[in-house]
Structure 1
């Protein structure tokens, strides 16, 4: 699916201006625009895996049912959405790298995720995949599964289908087979909430105090990977790439602060640490797809990274199987 930014804007607004292209990373392109005299952003599909209409439904739900600072959706349709401009995000040269994140930042990010989860707790009976609903009322619907492990299997099925004609399908199948063999791998994960799915430093902005430490959340964007899932899914989706070294047994200090920030708002279920390796594997499986989508294929330049991820998958799968014997 692809969508033209001019068509998306002309369909919904009498007056519009395209100011600047902000991002062009497949499968989306994002533009700063003005529509009917107001500053806004327009996100359009640039590939088959893009689904801006569902992302718009998620953003609308968060805007209406939480107090978190997210954009307001101004228009949405097949392959695009337009949303109000949101100040407060870090500039590209201000996004902290994993090595630059400290305890104050980690606590602020953890508590912000907990606020999203707390505000949507009890809203969803079962976990599942968000989708846009064209009916009246809330545009967010959920393609639900009876159990969380069924959603995990559905995710892995999607990854496998996308990578089926590549050699990188093999690590995904390793993970899929492990989950089939041990369907209790994620047992006890908790009730479903709305998870952001990609709460990395470039998608979250904070106010700061006099010392420059992050305080309250100022902006939250990019819900394209949102999922109705146990809150700990969201935590590990953020913690593993940002606060924890993959494969390391000892967590970085910021990871403890991240967890403490979360638990200052809502508790985590028993077994949170025990399920870490399962989430690491699901994350890695998704990274193969992202690496392929964003680069138009996993070529020679991306191969070292993909080989390293495949090695971690095999090692982690083997470790889990050994512990289960």
Structure 2
């Protein structure tokens, strides 16, 4: 058994009996719990979006969550190692990993997340919330700056290591991580009709190896710090203040902090342009109240937008069990956006 950190994945509570009448549907959860705890029970399903499922459980008398893999791209044990690192080496409010193994982890229950109806949509995010979100991301990056000599992909090391189980499959340069990241996306999408946009971005990266030059040193990036993955305590004016809970590190990467900034900013504040929205400006002020962004942050924004767009094809395919007729218009729009932005970057003078 290991000790240290997880975060509760959110969703509508659904009694397990109603969601999964057949016992075999939760056998992976039962097996994970039985391997690590004398007493255990499943209370409810919290989340069921491929490639994961998350359950509220009770283990040896304490409330907890169990996250299990339900698809080939899921790596919950790696996520557990990341959370363990955050728990050990930062002051952010994450839960504690109680057990982890191939295809699962179990973690302590974490209060502080908003209910489904309280999660703000991007259009509802005010400047106070944006600043708080930026500060939270800055705290994660500030606490892990200097920890990693090189960028790379989180991996599971040894759970009995006194420094934690997080290891890094490192690359010499950030551009090498970008190439491998895109190669992985292309492999996962190879059997679909939507691999070409990813390959188009990959060719651009080969042709413009300076696309991310000056991005800065690696930190631990959350990879998906959106409003349903963070909760805030409020100040006297009911504005978001300090984070109360941070969850869902499945997209974590050891990368320059600006990668994570654009991963959060793009879906919340729209595609970056020369006139940032008030929300984007507030988000950046919050972040830079903790640590500065490097020179050239705006110059590299199109490269990060292309990385985000490329990754969205895989997210759409995995979460919808394939890009079918209902998802095709969205995929076509993303494909067109990729081609247009690649052309823009190619036409830009070096």
State the TM-score, normalizing by the size of structure 1: 0.97
Cα offset, 1:167, TM superposition:
1.6
- Look up the match of 1:151: 177
Q: Which residue of 1 aligns with 2:291?
A: 266
Aligned partner of 2:8 in structure 1 is none
1:98 aligns with 2:137: no
Aligned ranges 1:4-153 → 2 under 5 Å: 4-134=28-158, 136-137=160-161, 138-153=164-179
Q: Does 1:281 align with 2:281?
A: no
Kindly provide the CA deviation profile for residues 250-283 of structure 1, in whole angstroms up to 9, marking residues without a partner as x: 3211000000000001011000011111000000
Query: Do the aligned residues in 1 keep the contact of 2:144 with 2:220 (CA within 8 Å)?
Result: yes
Would you say 1:246 and 2:271 are equivalent positions? yes
Q: Residue 230 of structure 2 aligns with which residue?
A: 204
- Superposed CA offset, 1:36-58 (max 9, x none): 11111100000000000000000
Give 5+ residue unaligned stretches, structure 2. Answer: 1-25
Structure 1 residue aligned with 2:247: 221
- Are 2:243 and 1:187 aligned? no
Equivalent position SS for 1:4: helix
Equivalent residue number for residue 292 of structure 1: 317
Among 281, 302, 308, the residue aligned to 1:256: 281
TM-score between both structures, scaled by the size of structure 2:
0.90
What do residues 160-184 of structure 1 show as CA deviations (whole Å, max 9, x unaligned)?
0011122200100110000000011
Structure 1 position 134, deviation (Å): 3.1
Comparing 3-12 with 125-134, greater Cα deviation is found at 3-12
Q: Is the 8 A contact 1:3 1:79 kept in 2?
A: no
- Distance (Å, rounded) in 1 between the aligned partners of 2:68 and 2:86: 20
Q: Deviations over 1:60-85 (max 9, x none)?
A: 00000111100100000000000011
- Is the contact between residue 272 and residue 301 of structure 2 (CA under 8 Å) also seen in structure 1? no
Aligned-partner SS, 1:29: strand
Q: Which whole-Å CA distance do the structure 2 matches of 1:251 and 1:20 have between them? A: 42
Write the distance in 1 (CA, Å) between the matches of 2:50 and 2:313: 14
- Show the counterpart of 1:303: 328
Distance 2:86 2:139 in 1: 11
> Please, which moves more after superposition, 208-217 or 282-291?
208-217
Contact 1:3 1:46 in 2 (8 A): no
CA contact (8 A) 2:266 2:272 kept: no
Q: Distance in 2 between matches of 1:316 and 1:218?
A: 38
- Alpha-carbon RMSD across the aligned residues, in angstroms, is 1.2
C-alpha distance in structure 1 between counterparts of 2:293 and 2:186, whole Å:
30
Find the residue that maps to 2:138 and give its secondary structure.
helix
User: How many matched pairs?
Assistant: 323
Instruction: Report what 2:201 is aligned to.
Output: 175
Q: Which portions of structure 1, spanning 4 or more consecutive aligned residues, are displaced by more than 4 angstroms?
A: none
List gaps (5 residues or longer) in structure 1.
Answer: none
